[in-house]
Chains A and B, each alone.
Chain A
Amino acid sequence: MRAIQTLGLTKIYPGGAPACDHINLTVNQGEIFGLLGPNGAGKSTLVKMLVGLTHPTAGSARVLGFSFRELAPRRRLGYLPELFRYPPWLKAQEVLDFHARLLRVPMSREERQGLLRRVGLEAHGGERVRRFSKGMQQRLGIAAALVGHPELVILDEPTSALDPIGRHEVSQLLRELKQAGVTVFLNSHLLSDVEKVCDSVALIDKGRVLYQGFLQEALYGGVRRYRLRLGALDSEMKPRVQALFPAGMIQWSDSGETEMTVALMRQQLPDLISQLVGLGASVYEVEPDHLSLEDWFLQRLGKGNL
């Protein structure tokens, strides 16, 4: 089942270019989904449309099986805004109580304390929000998003104000949510965080979807570089190996053993190895060049090279 499905979702602000231009996205239930894109790509606008903060110019969306214009999906949805502040005169525990009342769900003291513990604020429940650092407010925001046991949690930059320990804890929390069957929609600039936890991603730029799919597919699919270490090739074998590849695809590096770098699809790798072995070459190592999400991100946006 799909947690979120958008169909041609479009937002054009008066006098401006489309912030979101016919966005078609699918987020499957139970996965951690990462929304990526540069500043001004339309990510926050998309998120705000999904939670009803911004009205779309065209298109539609279904959230947890309901139209996103209905209140029903919001009863099962938790949301952490990017730039937010809770009323400074409230205590942390009162913020959670307030959200429980908005959801019309009962919340016991133990449950409230459990939520605060989950985000590392168990000792601060009685403190007023005005005394909270930005990181503590962000933790409280995550706890508020989890009030009422949501099926879908939409987190807009949840770790932007957190230190590395906090970021690690949030990553851990997201994995726990996934294990509990909760769908997580993560909008984050911190690509290393996304890479750690996300199952699938979408990349948008200038309001358009450039890519949507599994993260592993993004990082390990398509043409990639592989470094092969072969035993020494004699002069007779070398041209036969070379003939396997179009000109320029092999970079030779002779250091006793033969080292070569090839660019090909992952699916082509077994064939290549069997051909090399068939020619009598000894294949010692096949090592993929590491492609981080950041490399992939820059490459897809035309800012970097593979």
Chain B
Amino acid sequence: MLTVMHQSLVETLRKRLLVAAGGLTFLFLLLFFLFLRWVGKPPDIADYAYAEGLTYLYLGLFAAYVMTALFAVLIFVASVSAEIDDGTLLAVLPRPIRRFQVLLGKWVGLGLVVLVYVSILFFGIVLIDQARFGSITGGPMSILAAYGDFLLEGLLVGTVTLLGSTLTATMTNGIVVSSAVLIAFLGGSLQQLGSLTNPGPAFAVIGWTTSLLIPTDALYRRALFQLLGSHAYPGALVGAGPFGAIHPPGEGMVLYSILYMAGMLMLAVWNFGVRDL
């Protein structure tokens, strides 16, 4: 398993995937930094500066949410299906290694890459925003809790993509998982809008349903909530509209996400194990 994990890490480095993704992420963070500098000094009114800082923080985190999901899809999407198509795995699997070890090796190796990516992106955005607007977020524990949600989102998307890679062709898999993440976001946004505008349960049902299908959006909104800790002024999460988190998911959703990810991983292991190559 360690051999395959090591190989997956070397692959991302050799393919210059990390360099490209890392370079673009630093470019994004630089632009975010410059943007916040050019926005101008916020007025010396406490709530106004806070609202402005929070808005830009949410903007950055929304970008991080999308970029994390895309990165996880792209890095996992070809991990099995492409290696079956081009015959790479045909030379590996007859070696004395179980298929689940190959799959878990890939999951751990690529998961570490996602971890590095999410860490740079998340902490980069939070630190840049903090540097400009002062303390917008809660304490270190709040930041770490939000980071955990983001990381879980990245790993969850990667795991679902890994499962797809054992089931279907590379391109189909990429399209399906990306669409699922987008649908989850739309469902979550409708739920937020519904909470603001419509007292009926329809929007909530849509939000819950999409969150159960793939809980990425729930994790994102929970991260927004966690990040603020006790700092949130009343209405901060409402003010962000569809990007906010009026009814943040609780710990149950985190547990569900972990179980969901474990289930997807087990399904991937099982499907890869019984598949004829």
| Contacts from A to B (Cβ < 8 Å) | 13, 48, 51-55, 71-72, 74-75, 77, 79-81, 83-87, 89-90, 98-99, 101-104, 141, 144
> Chain B at the A interface: mostly helix, strand, loop or mixed?
loop
Chain B contacts with A in 51-104, Cβ cutoff 8 A: 86-88, 90-98
Checking A52, A80, A86, A99 against B93 with a beta-carbon cut-off of 8 angstroms, the contacting residue is A52
Contact A98–B3 (Cβ < 8 Å):
yes
Contact B90 A71 (CB under 8 A): no
A83 and B7 contact, CB distance less than 8 A: no
Whether the pair A71, B96 counts as a contact (CB closer than 8 A) is yes
Interface size bracket, B side: 20 to 34
Shortest beta-carbon distance, B91 to chain A, in Å?
A: 5
Q: Which residue in B7, B87, B95, B98 is a CB contact (below 8 Å) of A85?
A: B87
> Please, how many angstroms separate the alpha-carbon atoms of A131 and B88 in the complex?
16
B102 to chain A: closest residue by CB: A102
Name which of B3, B87, B91 has the most chain A CB atoms within 10 A of its CB. B91
Evaluate contact between A144 and B274: CB separation under 8 angstroms. no
B277 within 8 A of A: yes
Does B41 touch A at the CB level, under 8 Å?
no
Q: Which residues of A contact B7 (CB under 8 A)?
A: 87, 98
Q: Please judge, given known A-B contacts A79-B94, A98-B7, A102-B3, whether A89 and B88 are in contact too, CB under 8 Å.
A: no
B residues whose Cβ falls under 8 Å from a Cβ of A: 3, 7, 11, 14-15, 86-88, 90-98, 274, 276-277
CA distance A84 to B87 in the complex (A): 4
Smallest distance from the beta carbon of B201 to chain A beta carbons, Å?
Answer: 44
Residues of B within 8 A of A90 (CB): 14
| Bound CA span A86–B90, Å | 10
Which A-chain residue is minimally distant from B6 (CB atoms)? A101
Give Cα distance in the complex from A75 to B88, angstroms.
19
Q: Is B274 a contact of A79 with CB atoms below 8 Å?
A: no
Known: A55-B274, A102-B3, A141-B91. A87 touches B96 (CB 8 A): no
On whether the beta carbons of A53 and B276 are closer than 8 Å, the reply is yes
Give A141 to B15 CA distance when docked, in angstroms.
22
Complex: A144 Cα to B95 Cα, angstroms: 11
Q: Is the CB of B94 within 8 A of A74?
A: yes
Q: Residue A53 contacts which of B15, B86, B96, B277 (CB distance < 8 angstroms)?
A: B277
A89-B14, A89-B15 as given contacts; A53 in contact with B87, CB under 8 Å: no
Shortest beta-carbon distance, A162 to chain B, in Å? 17
Report the Cα distance A75→B94, complex, angstroms.
Answer: 9
User: Which B residues lie within 8 Å of A54 (CB)?
Assistant: 276-277
A-B contact pairs, 14 of them (CB 8 A): A48-B277, A53-B93, A72-B96, A74-B95, A74-B96, A77-B94, A81-B87, A83-B87, A86-B88, A87-B7, A89-B11, A89-B14, A102-B95, A103-B96
Tell me which of A52, A71, A99, A103 has the highest count of chain B C-beta atoms within 10 A of its own C-beta: A52
By the criterion CB–CB under 8 Å, are A103 and B87 in contact? no
Report chain B residues within 8 Å CB of A55: 274, 276
